[in-house]
């Protein structure tokens, strides 16, 4: 039997590129969706039967009956946030049982992670990252410090009690000394988390085994990235990054599926750029044009509601994302947000200290020296929300997409022109190369 196809979906910018929508399209024919990094700092908005969901931890496959969703070992899991999300999905009639699995090796976020993060973010003299305050960074710190609690340990009551008692003692002392934080009650925490453990137990298994077996049996798997390339702990705008491997390499370490089993990497980019939180953003617009993009694109964080910073498309960063992730296909989202413009500036290159450079700086202070070189592309000044084919797009919009292809070396396989499932253009070669032969245009689905 041939092994199943696989594709990694990765954010090519700073997250919020609309990865949820492409996962939704792929699950028409892909059988499994595996999330590989991050935690409930991520968020994508999905609307089913007029009801809006913000999925934070649960992979997008859950909304497709019969599709298996996996939370991989690379994810940091807040058990309470997970149970809350599952309860709201159940309330909406989503079939959860038998369709959702959590890795026994995923790390657990506990209340002291949030305590330490809040303390550090507000402490004078510390670099303020502008995190989502979910305890993500401190949970990954404990993982790398080899003092984390994994899901398998959460289910082991005796171990859980000892872990919480020891960790609380230590974190309370550190929190008090460094940030004057109020101490956390270990008994209360043990009660709450041992209750949660019982509810989580039915979802827990060895998901590396599950995924490798599924692929060996010919099932197709989508690896769902969270955040984006420029928020990756190694390759992003460090230290203004998240604490996990958001790039395609994370799909391997974050699920236990070997690199030799990855077929395709699909990068998702908006037709412009956004970022939430602090840190470098070379093509940022701080004027009314930026405000206009924010309003037209409804650029407010799905998790924290914070306004997103906005700017023009940055091709040097997109080329960098292509190189780091091995992107062969790009999905361009929110093209319609540019519909009103007669002229669209695009950053085509960087100058640092007056010299053109193809390199992306390693230091945050290096980004401050960047002078963006812009090329003005003709706008189309025509609505695109109802267009369903590439040929149906206005010529300048097609030229905008072709320009992106030429500059990045990746093909554009899908274009999103609105928030609804049906506001999607699928390029036939993308459909056939991904083996999505039976894929129907989302509009044609029930």
Residues that bind ligand IMP (CB under 6 A): 14-16, 41-43, 129-132, 134, 136-137, 226-227, 231, 242-243, 276-277
CA distances to 164, 399, 424 from 431, in Å: 49, 21, 13
CB-nearer residue toward ligand IMP: 280 or 413: 280
Distance of closest approach, residue 324 Cβ to ligand IMP, in angstroms: 17
> Which lies closer to ligand IMP via its Cβ, residue 29 or residue 416?
416
Catalytic annotation present for 24: no
User: What residue is closest to ligand IMP based on CB?
Assistant: 277
Nearer to ligand IMP, 69 or 237 (CB): 237
CB-nearer residue toward ligand IMP: 99 or 131: 131
CB of 54 to ligand IMP, least distance (A): 11
420 is catalytic: no
N-terminal to C-terminal alpha carbon distance within the chain: 32
Q: At closest approach, how far in Å is the CB of 137 from ligand IMP?
A: 4
Which residues have C-beta within 8 Å of that of residue 216, sequence separation ≥ 6?
A: 1, 3, 4
Which string of DSSP letters, residue by residue, matches 253-287? HTTT--GGG--EEEEEEESSEEE-SSS--TTB--S
Q: Which candidate, 48, 81, 52, 61, places its Cα nearest to that of 9? A: 61
Find the shortest distance in angstroms from Cβ 239 to ligand IMP.
9
| CA–CA distances in Å: residue 289 to residues 93, 174, 276, 344 | 42, 45, 17, 11
Catalytic residue among 16, 24, 232, 336: 16
Q: Which residue has the tokens 């992306």?
A: 360
Q: Which helix (H) or strand (E) holds 108?
A: strand 107-108
Q: Which residues contact 406 (CB under 8 A, 6 or more apart)?
A: none
Q: Which is nearer to ligand IMP, 5 or 171 (CB)?
A: 171
What is the DSSP secondary-structure string of 373-409? EEEEEE---S--TT--SSTTS-HHHHHHHHHHHHHHS
Residues 5 and 257: beta-carbon distance below 8 Å: no
Which of residues 268 and 271 has its CB atom nearest to ligand IMP in the complex? 268
Between CA 209 and CA 187 the distance in angstroms is 35
Q: Which of 40, 44, 163, 235 is catalytic?
A: 44
Q: Is 306 helix (H, G, I), strand (E, B) or coil?
A: coil
- Give min distance, CB of 160 to ligand IMP, in A: 25
Q: How far is the CB of 150 from ligand IMP (least distance, A)?
A: 20
Backbone angles phi, psi at 102, to 5 degrees: -115, 140
Cis peptide before 297 (omega within 30 of 0): no
Enumerate the active-site residues.
Answer: 16, 44
């Amino acid at each position: 039997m041939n092994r199943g196809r696989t594709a990694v979906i990765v954010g090519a910018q700073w997250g919020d590129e609309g990865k949820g929508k492409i996962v939704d399209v792929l699950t028409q024919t892909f059988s499994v969706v595996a999330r590989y990094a991050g935690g409930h700092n991520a968020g994508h908005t999905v609307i089913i039967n007029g009801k809006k969901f913000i999925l934070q931890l649960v992979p997008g496959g859950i909304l497709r009956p019969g599709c298996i969703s996996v939370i991989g070992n690379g994810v940091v899991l807040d058990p309470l946030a997970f149970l809350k999300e599952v309860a709201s999905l159940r309330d909406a009639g989503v079939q959860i049982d038998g369709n959702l699995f959590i890795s026994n090796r995923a790390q657990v976020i506990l209340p002291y992670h949030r305590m330490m993060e809040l303390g550090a973010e507000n402490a004078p003299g510390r670099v303020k990252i502008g995190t989502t305050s979910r305890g993500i960074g401190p949970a990954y710190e404990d993982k790398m410090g080899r003092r984390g609690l994994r899901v398998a340990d959460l289910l082991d009551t005796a171990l859980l009690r000892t872990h919480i008692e020891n960790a609380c003692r230590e974190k309370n002392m550190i929190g008090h000394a460094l940030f004057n934080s109020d101490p956390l009650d270990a008994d209360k925490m043990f009660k709450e988390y041992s209750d949660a453990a019982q509810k989580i137990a039915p979802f827990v298994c060895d998901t590396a085994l599950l995924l490798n077996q599924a692929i060996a049996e010919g099932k197709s798997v989508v690896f769902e990235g969270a955040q984006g390339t420029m928020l990756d702990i190694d390759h992003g705008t460090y230290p203004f990054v998240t604490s996990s491997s958001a790039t395609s390499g994370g799909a391997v370490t974050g699920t236990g599926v070997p690199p030799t089993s990855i077929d395709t990497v699909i990068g998702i980019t908006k037709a412009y750029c956004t970022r939430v939180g602090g840190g470098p953003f070379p093509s940022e617009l701080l004027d009314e044009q930026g405000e206009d993009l924010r309003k037209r694109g409804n650029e407010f964080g799905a998790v924290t509601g914070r306004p997103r910073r906005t700017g023009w498309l940055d091709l040097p960063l997109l080329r960098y994302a292509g190189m780091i992730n091995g992107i062969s296909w790009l999905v361009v989202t929110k093209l319609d947000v540019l519909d009103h413009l007669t002229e669209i500036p695009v950053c085509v290159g960087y100058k640092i200290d007056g010299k053109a450079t193809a390199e992306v700086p390693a230091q945050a202070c290096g980004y401050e020296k960047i002078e963006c070189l812009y090329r003005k592309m003709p706008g189309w000044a025509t609505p695109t929300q109802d267009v369903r084919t590439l040929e149906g797009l206005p010529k300048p919009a097609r030229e905008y997409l072709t320009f992106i292809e030429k500059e990045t070396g990746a093909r554009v396989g899908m274009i999103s022109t609105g928030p609804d499932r049906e506001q999607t253009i699928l390029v036939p070669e993308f459909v056939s190369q991904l083996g999505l032969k039976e894929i129907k245009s989302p509009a044609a689905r029930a």
